[in-house]
Structure 1
């Protein structure tokens, strides 16, 4: 079964271009498109996509972040990938806080958007490599840890710690598997155990935990 995708962008030419490129992928099918945030919920209800690719600025005062927040609230099973021309970390934080699972810059190639769609559909998250470092640095002084992460002090195995560090650095499950010479399913199992042990909910919490514990160290540029 292909991954069903809905496109939300106020420029028709952009939607048509993305639709043509994404439909070339054997495992992706664009099942709907709209240029307005107002029609997103109805379209999602009708088209039943797994992933929505959402422009951050939709014109006429419409806000992709708020549209994402509303969509995730009403349709929590739908994964949202933000496609934006803006690389400001504040906008990225707002999008993640609204419930987006991916953030891709418009200047990226379509291959990057395809990767993001596949990852968020599989339950993972994706952050454009061009902004990932600044976002991680910003997390050091931003969102608080969840109570579970602060109060519990579970012990991770050596392999779980390795997986935690690589995941926090932004590597995908497949990349971690290649790095550690283990299967992708084993990586997925380790990540699930880590999240359960630490009481974390998503990659944002995972990165914050790794920074707090010194597992992820940021070197000066």
Structure 2
């Protein structure tokens, strides 16, 4: 299977490449340092699997990239690599269209197993993170039922826009990042504020920080 690796640290890309290329049925055909590069590499090389870091400052994050890539190339399997072990991150990740979620400190053989699992059409969650909610997510494609959580309230596009607003980007900047019109961003912003019952940017920033959305 052909694989692309996207991570902002060159040493991580090299280490994972060596591990994967050692496998008789796997080959790394490209690497990227952020989400935009990952999209371009996937578009150029059409790999079977994309290993994608969740947080790649200052470039486009893994969540944005996963969302764009799975929409444009639904046949490509995306495995998220991260140090974040929170349930909210996992749920956001799967809602963005990714197929697997593994911690960077997992054993080498676990990473290889994760790649083979999603390549064969199944979802994967790092065993360290498994609980009843995650079991349901794997088996039934159901997200944990926490009605006040953003991933149950907001659409995928709104989840992309909210942290950008919270970070201080203007409507024009966000429109350019997401390749939509300024009016579209304004409409999304209004719906986000209404859904979350927020009335000001400081409230939105506080919400984004509390729900651990800033990295997205």
TM-score in same-fold range (> 0.5): yes
**Whole-Å separation in 1 of the counterparts to 2:63 and 2:42:** 16
Separation (CA, whole Å) in 1 of partners of 2:30 and 2:132: 33
- RMSD after superposition: 1.8
- Aligned equivalents of 2:28, 2:59: Cα separation in 1: 26
Task: Give unmatched runs, 5+ long, in structure 2.
Answer: 137-142, 153-216
Deviation at 1:134, TM superposition (A): 6.1
Deviations 1:178-206 (A, max 9, x none): xxxxxxxxxxxxxxxxxxxxxxxxxxxxx
Where do 4+ consecutive residues of structure 1 move more than 4 Å? 137-140
1:104 aligns with 2:107: no
Q: CA deviation at 1:106?
A: 0.7
In structure 1, C-alpha distance between the alignment counterparts of 2:10 and 2:134, rounded to whole Å: 34
Q: 1:71 aligns with which of 69, 72, 75?
A: 69
Q: 1:113 is matched with which residue: 111, 114, 128?
A: 111
Specify the alignment match of 2:158 in structure 1. Answer: none
* Separation of aligned partners in 2, 1:12 and 1:104: 19
Contact 1:89 1:134 (C-alpha < 8 Å) held by counterparts: no
Residue 38 of structure 1, CA deviation: 1.2
In the TM superposition, 1:169-180 aligns within 5 A as none
> What are the equivalent positions in structure 2 for 1:1-221 lying under 5 Å apart?
3-60=1-58, 62-133=60-131, 135-136=133-134, 139-142=143-146
- In the alignment of these two chains, the number of paired residues is 142
TM normalised by structure 1 equals 0.61
- SS of 1:100's equivalent in the other structure is coil
User: Which whole-Å CA distance do the structure 2 matches of 1:135 and 1:6 have between them?
Assistant: 30
CA contact (8 A) 2:49 2:76 kept: yes
CA-CA distance at 1:62 after TM superposition? 2.7
Deviations 1:75-114 (A, max 9, x none): 1100100010010110000000001110000110121111
Determine the C-alpha separation between the residues in 1 that align with 2:111 and 2:82.
11
C-alpha separation in 2, matches of 1:135 and 1:20: 34
How many Å apart are 1:140 and its aligned residue? 4.6
Contact 2:55–2:61 (Cα < 8 Å) also in 1 = yes
Task: Please give the alpha-carbon distance, in whole angstroms, between the structure 1 residues aligned to 2:72 and 2:65.
Answer: 11
